Structure 1
Amino acid sequence: MRFHIIIAAFLWAAFVESRKIRGISSSYKRFYRERKSFLCIDGSKMIPFEQVNDDYCDCADGSDEPGTSACPRGRFYCTNLGFRPHYIPSSRVNDGICDCCDASDEYNSHARCQNTCWNLGQKERAYVEGQMKTLDEGLRLKQQLIEEGVLLWREKQAQLRELQRAAEDLQIKLEEHRKRKHEADRLKEQTLKALKAGDKGFRHQNSTVSHLFQLLDSNKDGSISLDEVKAKVVLVHDETRVLSKDEALTLLGGGHQMDLSKFQNTLWDVLIRGDGYKIKDAHSAPGGLMSEDPHLKAADRAAEWEATNLKKVEEAYETVNMEISDLQKKLEIDYGTDWEYLFLNGQCYKLKVYEYMYTLCPFNMVSQKSTAGTEVSLGLWGMWAGPAKNHYSQMVYENGEPCWQGGSRTTSVTMTCGTETALRSVKEPSKCQYIMDFETPVACQPVLKQRGVHSEL
């Protein structure tokens, strides 16, 4: 009796195994509860339940043959316990090649498949664990960089306010120095006029009209000739060069000679102002004979002093305004919701790929340099171009150097999570279009996206 019971149990188990619905996920088992008939999942047809997995395709959607290769549109579900479940095309079922790591796709073939799901799962879990550790460390570093970014932002704002105050102070000083220079120039002009008019208070034997006229009038005939001008008048900065005839005629007012009256209104004024000319071998400072009069000399020193001071203040004012402009441009850039990317400004990162050295300067430019030393711009900072849910995941650099096919070079930089900040890879998938992978802790997101999990629906 016991023998008959054992035989019956064996036959029943074989029957149950033969009727087992293979290739379905747990979420689809409700469609395959054994009953008299089976409704194709797309609702197109009703068939007897015996025709399920009978190696003949009855349903257009292939739902009646999840465990065989009968239906061209069918798919087989690999449970892969211990690893990641996934679907394969039903054409791969019992084809002699192990596609499921649990070997469930080769249940009726000559293939000798081993269950490798546990080993694959271990590797997957180790990888995910490593990713999670990287993520945790990246998030920790990111928080530090956020705190540093906030402090750096505040420092730059304070620096901007300081520069703006300095600019205001310099503007006030600038107006003061302009007034003082104007007053010094006015005093110098008054001194010149007084000297020219022969005022007794400014008279000096080496700067009077008659004295200078006598110096030039070599033959003492009461007039200055073309030859006398060429012989006595020289350039302030080149005493060795003899004046040309045209230059001498110009100094004489177009004529070939001049008397004392005409000299006073023309050539004397040129010499006294120091407009590039002076009397040869006259012991006076460069700039003409005007420096020999003590009053005029003092006025000239005062005007020169004020001009020097004004120039210094103008240069300081211009420098401060340039610094303000540069700082404002930097502060206008979007550095992330918490200024976490601010630390990248002013930094550059390099990576050598074959014969090229690539340089990424965030928020500035991207370049490529060959071993021959030729450098090419691959784009200037443009904008953030990530999707709405992760806007700061991609940078775009535009308007690089023109490409030989037309258009300009552009570079897209993908920001990836990591514990270091470095340029990891550079590719050129299409001509003059570059893709870079840039790793940094500030790209880490709190939730790690699951890898390799396929939808069952």
Structure 2
Amino acid sequence: MAVSCLLLSLLLLLCGAASPVEVQRPRGVPLSKRQFYEEGKPFTCLDGSLTVPFDRVNDDYCDCQDGSDEPGTAACPNGSFHCTNAGFRPAFIPSSRINDGICDCCDTTDEYNSGAACQNTCRELGRKEIESLQKMAEIAKEGFLLKQQLIHEAKSGLEEKKTKLGEVQSNRKDLEEKVDALRTVKEKAEQPENEAKERHLKAWEDQKAVIRMEKDKARMSGVFLELDKDGDGFVTVDELLTHSELDSDGDGTFTETEAQGLLGGVDKVDAASFESVWNNIKEKFHSESHTDTPAPGETSQEEAKEPASDNDSELYPDDDIPEDDDDEEDPDDEDLDDGDYKGSDTLQTRDKKEDEEDAMPPYDQETQSLIDAAQKARDEFNEAEKALRELDDQIRNLEKEISFDFGASAEFAYLYSQCYELHTGEYIYKLCPFNRVSQKPKYGGSETNLGTWGKWAGPEDNVYSVMKYEHGTGCWQGPNRSTTVKLTCGKETVVTSTSEPSRCEYLMEFITPAVCQEPQNVDATFRGHEEL
């Protein structure tokens, strides 16, 4: 619309320039102010500050404070000169440029007394301007046709989305009922499963308790035989004193009194009575027949006295660290392979055996069947519940698109879920309409959020001409980044430029046919004025 109006103005000027009628007025005065300059009558400064005889207008002496008495000379520093520029756009220039030897007005009127060789170029400039505006009008026309197509597609798309929403909402009701039914099936299947698992676990715990008790009795019998050194069927105070680790008060001396106390106040006990003694000594007792392997986290007495070094260099003086020689073989190494690691293998075997004993046995067939049935019910329920969540997401997205403000006729709907990039020397800018704007370095580095969708921010009479994206990544000791996107008419959809007019506030130029307005009949207007 603006392009058509400007073209019409130029055509009117061209026609006006061809008219033989010329309104007389002082040099440098625009036609709109002709009534203030009546020859033969006193002239009043336009700011009302002074009235002077008319012959003092353009006398090359500044009388008025606003410079209005010297529109055609350079006498007033704050004056302005009107270039008529017949055939092109009229313009104002500072009065200081009058007769300065430089042609500022295309009609040469500013250099009337300087001797400068100026040529009137207004008609040529007007012709080029008209050609440019005609091209712009043609682009606007094509863009508007594309906009009509976009509006048609948006309307069709909107109807499809509404239909789809109705179908999805209907499907949701059915799926919700299915989820509720599967939840009931799952809960019914899990109840016998849990009961069977609890029975299995209790049986396993009872079995482990029996095994531990049997192991404890077997060890107790072995210890009794070990302590009964004379084989008379009794463990005496003297026999118990051979194990100093049983010192009950921890003073380092295991006395007869302490030993007798452990035996229950008697001098000796038989195998039947040894059980009560065993409960008092089994935590401290160390067998003489073999060295018990310390439990994980425990250390032997020798290790406690002299902890190993974590660094080989601490074991040797500087420069005396032995070097490994891969080319030489130590004949003793073969002996180490044969026997020295047998003890380690035995420990590993024993640990593995203990792990196997501690592992819960597999479920019986009946329990496993219940578990499998419950797992199948869980899988079916989880799958249906996931489908319901996805359906809810779909409903929310459809409702959002249907209610979103995509313009007066939904002409901007085609931009939804799309992104457009602009590559500059250092950065890649990405505009995702109705979502966000971002900036990413070309040669590595993280992406910076320049703002998320905020609102339409154009003027009241053209609100859909500007987009505002807000609350982006915060600047260092500054505000959060934001981006203003100015939309202009064009046949393509493309980001044309990005700048940062002020710190952390970005400006992006975006071409889209969605903002093109219906143009006037430029060709008919042009032909009509040509005839005049």
- CA separation of 1:225/1:124 partners in 2, compared to 1, >3 Å: closer, same or farther? same
Do structure 1's residue 92 and structure 2's residue 175 form an aligned pair?
Answer: no
Letter of the 1:315 counterpart: K
Partner of 1:80: 85
Q: Deviation at 1:336? A: 1.2
What code does the residue aligned with 1:390 have? N
Q: Secondary structure at the match of 1:50?
A: helix
Of 481, 489, 492, the residue aligned with 1:409 is 481
Q: How far off is 1:241 after superposition?
A: 4.5
Which deviations, in whole Å up to 9, do the C-alpha atoms of 1:356-394 show, x marking residues without a partner? 111111111222222322222222222222221211112
Aligned to 1:6: none
1:45 aligned partner: 50
- d(CA) in 1 for partners of 2:214 and 2:169? 60
CA contact under 8 A between 2:154 and 2:410: conserved in structure 1?
Answer: yes
Is 1:311 the counterpart of 2:316? The answer is no
2:96 maps to 1:103: no
Task: For 1:128-143, list aligned pairs within 5 A.
Answer: 128-143=133-148
Report matched runs for 1:395-406 at 5 Å.
Answer: 395-406=467-478
Query: Percent same amino acid among aligned pairs?
Result: 44
Partner Cα distance (2:441, 2:393) in 1? 34
Query: C-alpha separation between the residues in 2 aligned to 1:54 and 1:20?
Result: 15
Answer whether contact 2:487 2:509 (CA < 8 A) is retained. Answer: yes
Pairing partner for 2:364 from 267, 272, 290: 290
CA 75–225 in structure 1, closer or farther in 2 if over 3 Å, else same: same
Equivalent position of 1:181 in the other structure: 186
Instruction: Report how far residue 107 of structure 1 moved.
Output: 1.1
Mark the CA change 1:330 to 1:52 in structure 2 (over 3 Å): closer, same or farther: same
Q: Is the Cα contact below 8 Å between 2:484 and 2:507 reproduced in 1?
A: yes
Quote the Cα distance in structure 2 between the aligned partners of 1:155 and 1:372. Answer: 43
Matched AA of 2:434? F
2:137–2:519 CA contact under 8 A, matched in 1: no
- More strand as a share of residues: 1
Give TM-score scaled by structure 1 length.
0.71
- CA, structure 1 residues 189+73, in 2 after alignment: closer, same or farther (shift >3 Å)? closer
Q: Deviations over 1:322-379 (max 9, x none)?
A: 2223333444532112111111111111111002111111111222222322222222
- Please tell me whether residue 372 in structure 1 is matched to residue 443 in structure 2: yes
What do residues 15-47 of structure 1 show as CA deviations (whole Å, max 9, x unaligned)?
Answer: xxxx96211222222333322433333444333
Corresponding residue of 2:161: 156
Write the letter of the residue equivalent to 1:445: Q
Gaps of 5+ in 2: 1-23, 219-350, 521-532
RCO greater where, 1 or 2, for CA within 8 Å and sep 6 or more? 2
Match of 2:455 in 1: 383
**Are 1:422 and 2:510 counterparts?**
no
Describe how 1:2-401 pairs up with structure 2 within 5 A: 21-186=26-191, 188=193, 225=215, 241-243=352-354, 277-278=360-361, 288-291=362-365, 293=366, 296=367, 298-374=369-445, 375-401=447-473
1:426 shift after superposition? 1.2
Question: What is the CA deviation profile of residues 380-410 of structure 1, one whole-angstrom value per residue up to 9, with x for unaligned ones?
Answer: 2222222212111122222222323433222
CA shift in 2, pair 1:139/1:407, >3 Å: same
Q: Distance in 1 between matches of 2:488 and 2:217?
A: 84
Q: Distance in 1 between matches of 2:516 and 2:442?
A: 35
Tell me how far apart the structure 1 counterparts of residues 375 and 216 of structure 2 sit (CA, whole Å): 34
Of 439-448 and 413-422, more deviation after overlay is shown by 439-448
Distance 2:74 2:110 in 1: 10
String of CA shifts for 1:135-160, please: whole Å, max 9, x gaps: 11111111111111222222223222
Alignment gaps of 5+ in structure 1: 1-18, 197-208, 229-239, 249-275, 279-287, 449-457
Tell me which amino acid in the other structure corresponds to 2:94: P
Partner of 1:283: none
Counterpart amino acid of residue 55 in structure 2: E
Task: Decide whether the 8 Å contact of 2:418 with 2:433 is kept in 1.
Answer: yes
**Distance in 2, Cα, partners of 1:187 & 1:36:** 114
Contact preservation (8 Å) 2:141, 2:519: no
| TM-score for both structures, normalised by structure 2 | 0.61
Larger radius of gyration: 2
CA distance in 2, matches of 1:399, 1:227: 74
